[in-house]
Chains A and B, each alone.
Chain A
Amino acid sequence: MAILIHSDTRVIVQGITGHQGQFHARAMAANGTKVVAGVTPGKGGQFVDSIPVFDTVREAVESTGANAWVCFVPAAMAKDAAYEAIDHELNPIVIITEHIPIHDTVKILSLAANRKIRVVGPNTAGIFAPGHCKMGIMPAHIFRPGPIGLVSRSGTLTYEIVSQLSRHGFGQSTAVGLGGDPVVGLSFIEVLGLFEQDPETKAVVLIGEIGGSAEEEAARFIPGNITKPVFAYIAGRTAPTGKRMGHAGALISGTSGSAETKTKALAEAGVHIAQLPGELPHLVEQTLGGNEFR
């Protein structure tokens, strides 16, 4: 088992004929993911390797029985594309696209919430369940199947931590990138809840960063809801106030959103805190100890 996606997830790649879409559709398929269709308006009838391309999501769903959707289209087209996916009840939808206007994201998320559809992103590296399914751009070779669930606001930092965990023998059940934008679909809380119920996941690594209050909300949620050990690293301890640190959502405003307050809240909730990313595997090792976690 994994969370959100599994071996039977049938994926549509929106924007499959574009440079990124094509590259990552191939990478996902090479990883055993059932990439059953691509959609690019105007390019229906073409193929990317053996993946059929359709003009509309409707045709893709009707022809292939697709049930999940990952988006690589440019920001200006993302709202239209996401509405199309939501209208056809694809679930989850994963939006890799960066720089979507905030008002578009708010509407996409509102529509999806009304239809009970889970959105991952925007501005995310996606979801990867090693050995099952990949929806996104995470480099598969650093992962290995195992008992650690990962949830993160950052792509490359996830790769950094995954590769360190893998090197120390700790594999991953599922890695979920929430996205670096100020407003995103799934939150730490929802993903923590899913990991709690996933029998394959024995412990959770939470990778946060400055900006917003998603980590503080997770800290309030953990006691009483999460029985599995949780480990965390919060990036941006040394970031200045008032500057966006690469991610649109990584911004300390006034006194709120700093790494210090997030770390403190999580520590008080019983989360094991790594001050630096390199400490995480050792922390996991010390806490979980035995080999049954590897």
Chain B
Amino acid sequence: MKLHEYQAKELFSTYGIPVPAEQLIENVESMDAIMLPFPWVLKAQVLVGGRGKAGGIKRTWNRAEAKELADTMFRQTIKGSPVRKILVAPSVPIEQEYYISLVLDRSHKAFALVASAEGGMEIEEVARTAPEKIYRRDIDPWRGLMPYEGRLAAKALGLSGARIMEFAQIAVALDRILVQEDAELVEINPLALTPAGLLALDAKIILDDSARFRQNRASNDEEATPLEQKAKSLGLAYVELEGCVAVIGCGAGLVMASLDVLNSMGAKPANFLDIGGGASAELMRQGLAIVLEKPGVRSVLINIFAGITRCDEVAKGIVDYGPQVPISVRMTGTNEELGIRLLHEHGYHAFHTMEEAASHAARLAREEVR
């Protein structure tokens, strides 16, 4: 789960990382009470990347203009995300912008400290154009990030004097957030060097959803569409796509392959739903309800390769739901005779291979258009 900038900065404050004196607003009226010096920077609190280019960051020199800009921002969506909160930040004098993050290195199977003196731009861009400007170091999971490792990074970035210790303190605090909050990523970009010291001008934190059982935190997954959130609450992996063939299957890899096969036949998937292994009839019923709630679905591809799943359970879920949209079912594996018989009794055909079922689903979607 990705946190908003203002939420991440609240955590930064709690852990002693310096952040600017900013104010969070939810309406234009509350801007009258803001006492920050001008110019202000208005930052839309949305989770999509690249909000600056999409009009989500505006600088202004007076209150009247600030209110106008905020009003527009509140009415607007940034890459599809509504703006519910705006962070009002004072402009700070910046001598240099740095980058620091603690990020999972999948191939090293460890978290790594990544830092650069090229702050303020996409780190992927730096990695591509000037990899020598990126400092990285694995973090030992047993002892955590030590202050001296932060100092090494600071030196590598060209910091000097008291700034070295400041940087190291921030690095250590980030590591405490990473571990204590069960985060997958903590990032400051830019980390600004100002006359008053280092300051986190932006903040990005992604929390590990799998750690929810021990973190006692609310889910506010605003990045997900309403249907994605609904599926998540049922424990289903659902992703919204742009086409018109809904896709349900058991197992992530098989559903991904189903999308590939559909696409190769010129049919665009409307969504991706993995009902997992061992799904009950009830779960299948709920899954169908979710994929069909998306407007514009013209056919459904159901791809079941049953290992621990039972085909008769899945078939029962389909029959119970009785979809109004034409479906194409592929069913093989555990209890397939029972499942296919049940489908036949209710007028549904089941294919033996994924390719046959996908081709039929694509045809059904085309016929619906006419």
A interface with B by C-beta (< 8 Å): 20, 23-24, 75-76, 99-103, 106-107, 109-110, 113, 125, 137-139, 142, 152-160, 163, 180, 182-183, 187, 207, 209-210, 212-214, 217, 233, 235-240, 242-250, 254-256, 275-278
Contact = CB atoms under 8 A, between A and B. Distances in A.
Contact of B260 (A100, A235, A244, A249): A235
Interface stretch (B17-25, B102-110, B318-326): B102-110
A238 B260 contact: yes
The 7 closest A-B pairs by CB, nearest first: A154-B253, A246-B252, A156-B251, A157-B253, A156-B254, A101-B211, A246-B274
Contact of A76 (B111, B209, B214, B307): B214
Contacts of B253: 152-158, 180, 207, 209, 235, 246-247
A201 B359 CA distance: 34
B2 to A, nearest CB: 10
Nearest to B180: A103
Contacts of B237: 244-246
Contact of B308 (A23, A106, A182, A237): A23
B256 A235 contact: yes
A243 B249 CA distance: 17
Given A182-B104, A247-B252, A155 B307 contact: yes
B132 interface: no
Given A139-B307, A155-B307, A102 B254 contact: no
Given A155-B253, A242-B49, A254-B122, 19 more contacts: A100-B210, A101-B182, A137-B307, A152-B253, A153-B253, A154-B254, A155-B277, A159-B307, A187-B107, A213-B106, A236-B259, A238-B262, A238-B263, A239-B272, A245-B237, A250-B256, A275-B264, A276-B257, A276-B260
Contacts of B262: 238
A33 to B, nearest CB: 16
Contacts of B167: none
Interface string B228-271: 00000000010101000000011111111101111110000100
Contacts of A75: 210, 213
B259 A139 contact: no
Contacts of B184: 102, 182
B109 A110 contact: yes
A187 to B, nearest CB: 8
A212 B250 CA distance: 22
B213 A76 contact: yes
Interface in B156-182: 178-179, 182
Interface in B268-301: 269, 272, 274, 277-278
A180 B261 contact: no
B210 A102 contact: yes
B149 interface: no
A95 to B, nearest CB: 13
B131 to A, nearest CB: 13
Contacts of A277: 257, 260-261, 354
Interface of B: 49, 104, 106-107, 109-111, 122, 124, 141-142, 178-179, 182, 184, 208-211, 213-214, 237, 239, 241, 249-257, 259-264, 269, 272, 274, 277-278, 305-308, 332-334, 353-355
Contacts of B239: 240, 243-246
Contacts of B141: 103, 106-107, 110
Given A110-B141, A158-B253, A212 B241 contact: no
A148 B162 CA distance: 61
Contacts of A248: 210
A162 B252 CA distance: 16
A153 B182 CA distance: 24
Contacts of B249: 156
A120 B283 CA distance: 29
Contacts of A275: 260, 264
Contact of B142 (A107, A209, A254): A107
A212 B107 contact: yes
B210 to A, nearest CB: 4
A199 to B, nearest CB: 29
B277 A137 contact: yes
Contact of B256 (A152, A159, A246, A256): A246
A217 B305 contact: no
B39 to A, nearest CB: 31
Given A101-B182, A246-B272, A276 B261 contact: yes
Given A101-B182, A246-B274, A110 B124 contact: no
11 contacts: A24-B308, A102-B211, A106-B110, A154-B256, A155-B277, A156-B251, A233-B257, A245-B255, A246-B255, A255-B124, A277-B261
A267 to B, nearest CB: 16
B101 to A, nearest CB: 13
A205 B253 CA distance: 15
A119 to B, nearest CB: 10
A112 to B, nearest CB: 10
A182 to B, nearest CB: 5
Contact of B210 (A101, A157, A236): A101
Contacts of B256: 154, 157, 209-210, 235-236, 239, 245-246, 250
Contacts of A23: 308
A132 to B, nearest CB: 19
Given A155-B307, A157-B256, A139 B333 contact: yes
Contacts of A183: 104, 106, 109
A237 B260 contact: yes
B337 to A, nearest CB: 13
A208 to B, nearest CB: 9
B285 to A, nearest CB: 20
B189 to A, nearest CB: 14
A248 to B, nearest CB: 7
